[in-house]
Amino acid sequence: MYDLLLRQCRLLQTDRTIAEVDIAIQQGAIAVIAPHITEPATLELDLQKQLVSPPFVESHIHLDSALTIGEPRWNESGTLFEGIEIWRDRKQNLSLDDVKTRAIATLKQQAMQGVLFVRSHADVSETSLIALQALLEVRDAVKAWTTLQVVAFPQDGIYGGAQNDDLIEKAMAMGADAVGGIPHYELTREDGVKSVHRIFELAQKYDRLIDIHCDEIDDDQSRFLEVVAACAIRSGMGSRVTASHTTAFGSYNNAYAFKLLGLLRRTELNFIANPLINITLQGRTDTYPKRRGVTRVKELWQQGMNVSFGHDCIQDPWYSLGTGNMLDVASMGLHVCQMTGTAEIDACYDMVTWHGAKTLNVSDRYGVEVGKPANLIVLDAHDRYDAIRRRATVSYVISQGRLLATTEAPKSVWHDT
Ligand code: FE2
């Protein structure tokens, strides 16, 4: 007797094929995947050929600022820098309860839409380290239904204030999963380079992952990605290192961009693009032509680099919109990066699932495979293309073998004759 049996599944495979199978779950793990399972289960769901996928992965979000839209004021210019100013004011009023309540509400909102793996940045530029402490407590509070990684993110720069370097080291000692950075926002280019070296030093000292906000600016002279790549090559840490945003890569001249791609091929760096937010934040100083402000996703993917998509912000000083739906993210990425070929569309889906899992370094426990933890979602869709095009409803969310959430697909009725 199994705990849960899913009948008539169309199971997505990494090779782009779809298998018609039944899936049995026992004690929180995938027990059997076979064309037809006869043994009974405590709970059986007939999926009637809906799509089964591993859960969505949110590889880049800021849970500490989520759901603070308008507090204390709206970002009228829409720029990254006004967002940082507003957040500087808002974060004076952070409390553990405030951050935890908003973070858990956001995680639930995402989990109900099929997101069960999340990497969040926590601002560690304040002496109290409240945002980090709160998210570490949330990581523990939600572990029965979602996996949360927390990055120690020095929003104001590691060298932007006298205490900031000590604060990020303290954050590592407190248990952050990854070291973050923001080299393009440091006071000088030299400080930016120094900050990247410091990040690698901390990651090696505490044996943690790295996720750097890197070159999130339209300045074609912002070139910290090459510093990250050089450190990754020398340290051998490549697959444990992520370069987030890298929007300046979209502004580099091709002579430099092609040279850089050659350098990147020598690493196993992960890249995260955040198309919803960067299509609105970037290009703000341009008249026309106006740049798209997203990194070279298609080219990195074509070179075999691991690229994932993140939501980045949900209703905060940098991005006033967002519902946490990763199919919205994939759709915007598809449009902005012009990934409209069939393999490219499928890749956009993979950038919010398998590729995100690789970025988070959780591939060993991710995927709908026998023996792995039973984390999966059911989409009211035929395939990846259909799921993205219609922002398909996530009908069922199964977390660690348990039914976590259900959603009914909207249904329209035509009344005119
Ligand atoms: Fe970010």
User: In angstroms, rounded to a whole number, what is the distance separating the alpha carbons of residues 352 and 57?
Assistant: 5
382 shares a domain with 251: no
Statement to judge: residues 288 and 172 lie in one domain: yes
Instruction: Render pLDDT for 265-291 as a digit per residue (tens, 0 to 9).
Output: 999 999 999 999 999 999 999 999 999
Active site residues: 216
How many whole angstroms from 406 Cα to the centroid of ligand 1?
30
Pick the closest to residue 59 from 366, 342, 336, 385 (CA basis): 366
Q: How many domains does the chain have?
A: 2
Confidence at 104, pLDDT banded by 50, 70, 90: very high
Residues 320 and 376 in one domain: no
Helix (H, G, I), strand (E, B) or coil at 204: helix
Residue 170 belongs to a domain = yes
Residue 189 Cα to ligand 1 midpoint, Å, equals: 20
**Nearest Cα to Cα of residue 224 among 261, 257, 193:** 193
Q: What is the pLDDT of residue 81?
A: 85
| Residue 151 and residue 37 in one domain | no
Same domain, yes or no: 168 and 229: yes
Q: CA dihedral in degrees (233, 237, 241, 246; nearest 10)?
A: 0
Note the pLDDT of residue 80: 86
The tens digit of pLDDT for each residue in 353-376 reads 999 999 999 999 999 999 999 999
Same domain, 36 and 105: no
Average the pLDDT over 152-177 and give the result: 97
Residues 241 and 373 placed together within one structural domain of the fold: no
Tens digit of each residue's pLDDT (9 = 90 or more) over 177-234: 999 999 999 999 999 999 999 999 999 999 999 999 999 999 999 999 999 999 999 9
Please check whether residue 373 lies inside any domain of the structure.
Answer: yes
What separation in Å is there between the alpha carbon of 411 and the centre of ligand 1?
A: 36
Residues 19 and 92 occupy one common structural domain: no
Residue 358 falls inside a structural domain: yes
Model confidence at 417, in pLDDT bands (50, 70, 90)? Answer: confident
113 Cβ neighbours under 8 A, 6+ residues apart? 56, 323, 324, 325, 326, 394, 407
Question: Which domain does 33 fall in, by range?
Answer: 2-54+367-406
Q: Please give the DSSP secondary-structure letter assigned to residue 55.
A: P
What CATH number has the domain bearing residue 371? Answer: 2.30.40.10
Share of the chain above pLDDT 90, in %: 98
The position carrying tokens 């405590």 is 42
3-class SS of residue 260 = helix
Asked if the structure places residue 413 within a domain, the reply is no
